[in-house]
Structure formats: structure tokens, C-alpha cells
Amino acid sequence: MATRHIISIGDFDRDGIDQLLDHAEQIDNRKYDAGALGGRILAVLFFEPSTRTRMSFESAMARLGGTSLSVGSVDACSMAKGETLADTIRVVSGYADAIVIRHPKEGAARLAAEFSTVPVINAGDGAGQHPSQTLLDLYTIRQSMPIDGIDVALIGDLRYGRTAHSLASALSLYNARLHTISPKGLELPSNLVMDLREKGMEITEHDDIREIIGLVDVLYVTRIQRERFPDSASYFNVATSYRITPELLADAKKHLIVLHPLPRVDEIDPRVDDSPHARYFEQSKNGVPVRMAMLMRVLQ
């Protein structure tokens, strides 16, 4: 696999991440060439819908003067009908200078990279990786505080939420401490916890966010999906006790920031939106400069 693919946040060491985020910051300060990727083509190949991620990559490409060829989930399925992923990737390689892939199956992005003649960026493959999300999460934290040694609370569905997994891994490079709060059955996978502890990360499980709200610097909220619960009463119960409210945040550190990969449903009270703690819309917006830096990295 060529070094220019971006498949997993684990492909980066700390220096690699810092360099990319520094570049994103430069871009954010409008220090970039708006024609840098003029005439270059990005194939956006999504085998499952993710309009937000797709738009963010296409926006990034357009800001740099490039063109995106978008292949939505419907088209992608008709394209792949009876065809192997390997063949689809080889064909698309012939039309573009880079490929962004999203796929329901873990490992699909790495497989794509093997057959592609152009750089591949993973935009999420099943329970696998979603490196651009992790990079924009880190970028958003860094806008408010140095990442080193901070206390980060992960709250919500930590079992299926791949964004939480990738972020936790990346934070281990920054000596951050992790606090986890999740409904029974939706805890952070134990092998990931073991893995992170081996890397020296301090991880504490808590029953209630209120125990530690005064202590943490970052509150990373993930969606709790209704489908994970046997009935709507149990969902409602959990959704209520995990909901972030202004009342809860009254006890928070002044500089605490609230992040969420979006879309949110019931996890964050809309009254939080106007609080200085709320950073989730900035976080979403930060996807553009971060993905611009990623595109420059693979295409230049």
C-alpha cells in the first residue's frame, strides 16, 4: 500500500497528526492557494449514505479548486451490482486522482487501497475507522486548549460509536485521561480499553456524568440509537439520564467544551446551543479545513 493513502488514524504518529492539524489551521486562517487542486478530480464513492461527510469532502475539494465526482449509495450499488469491490476501485481509479470511500463493511477501505492506482481516503468503513472525523475532533479540541494531559469524558453509546473508539486511540498519543459514561451493554469494548491501558492511558468508568462534570475539559457526546433498546420506555429512560442540559453544565469548568459528531437527536438539549461550552457546530464546520489538509496531503 502506498504511503499516501489515509485509511486509519493509527497510520499516523503524533507528529503526523500535529503536522496535519497545523496545516488545517493555516488553511483556516485563509493561508492557502485556492487553485492548489485545480483540474484534479476526487471520486467520492459512498456505498452507504452519509450526506454530511460527503458534502464536507466535496466542499473541501471545491475550496481548493478541484472537482468531485460524486457516486451516491444508490449509484454505487448499481455500479457494484455483481462486480467485486476490487474491479469497481480499478475502474474508478481510471477516472479520478483520488478516491474517498465509505462502505458498510469493516476493512473495505484498506482493500480498496490495495487495488487503487490513486490515493484512497477512508470516510468510514463499518465498525472500522473514520480518520477524518477523529482529526476534526482533535482540531476542535486544539482550538480551545492544548490537548496534552486533558481530561476527556466520552458519554453515550461507546460500544458501537466508532468515532469514540478512534478518538480514544488518538488521545492516547496526547497523554489525555479518559472518563467513560455509558448505558449497560454499550460500554467501550474491553479489548480497546485493555489496549489503551497498555499504552499507558488512564481510563475511569463512571455511573453518572454528574460525578465528574466539574473535572473534565472535554465532554464528547455520542448518539444513543433507539434500536439498541428492547422498548421505547428503556430508551427514553436512558436518553433522559444521558441528556446534556444547561443545568448539568452549570457545574462544569468554565473552559469545558461539548462535542458531538452529529446528527444529535435527544442527547443535547437545544438550550445548550447558545452556551459558550457548545462547540459541535464549529466541530462540524472544522471538517472542511481538516479535509482540505487531508486532500492536499494525498494529492500534492
Q: Which residues bind its own copies (CB under 8 A)?
A: 34, 38-39, 41, 43, 49, 51-52, 54-56, 58-59, 62-63, 65, 67, 69-72, 74-76, 78-79, 81-84, 86-88, 90-96, 262-265, 270, 281-282, 284-285, 287-288
Q: Of the two residues 29 and 191, which places its CB atom closer to its own copies in the complex?
A: 29
Q: Of the two residues 41 and 248, which places its CB atom closer to its own copies in the complex?
A: 41
Q: Of the two residues 140 and 169, which places its CB atom closer to its own copies in the complex?
A: 140
CB 124 → its own copies: shortest distance, Å?
14
CB 281 → its own copies: shortest distance, Å?
5
CB 253 → its own copies: shortest distance, Å?
25
68, β-bridge pairs: 42
Grid cell listed for 178: 479518559
Per DSSP, the residues of 93-121 read HTT-SEEEEEESSTTHHHHHHHH-SS-EE
Cell 446551543 sits at which residue? 273
CB 68 → its own copies: shortest distance, Å?
8
3-state helix, strand, coil in the chain (%, to 5): 45, 15, 40
Q: Of the two residues 88 and 172, which places its CB atom closer to its own copies in the complex?
A: 88
Q: Of the two residues 83 and 208, which places its CB atom closer to its own copies in the complex?
A: 83
CA distance 255 to 246: 14
Q: Of the two residues 14 and 52, which places its CB atom closer to its own copies in the complex?
A: 52
CA distance 43 to 76: 11
Count of residues making up the chain: 300
3-state secondary structure of 218: strand
CB 126 → its own copies: shortest distance, Å?
17
CB 166 → its own copies: shortest distance, Å?
20
CA distance 178 to 202: 6
Amino acid letter, 143: Q
The DSSP call for residue 170 is H
CB 14 → its own copies: shortest distance, Å?
27
Residues 148-185: b if buried by 16+ CB within 10 A, e if exposed = eebbbbbbbbbbbbbbbbbbbbbbbbbebbbbbbbbee
H or E element: which one contains 78? helix 73-80
Q: Of the two residues 213 and 288, which places its CB atom closer to its own copies in the complex?
A: 288
CB 236 → its own copies: shortest distance, Å?
15
Q: Are 105 and 129 in contact (CB under 8 A)?
A: no
Q: Of the two residues 43 and 176, which places its CB atom closer to its own copies in the complex?
A: 43
Q: Are 166 and 131 in contact (CB under 8 A)?
A: yes
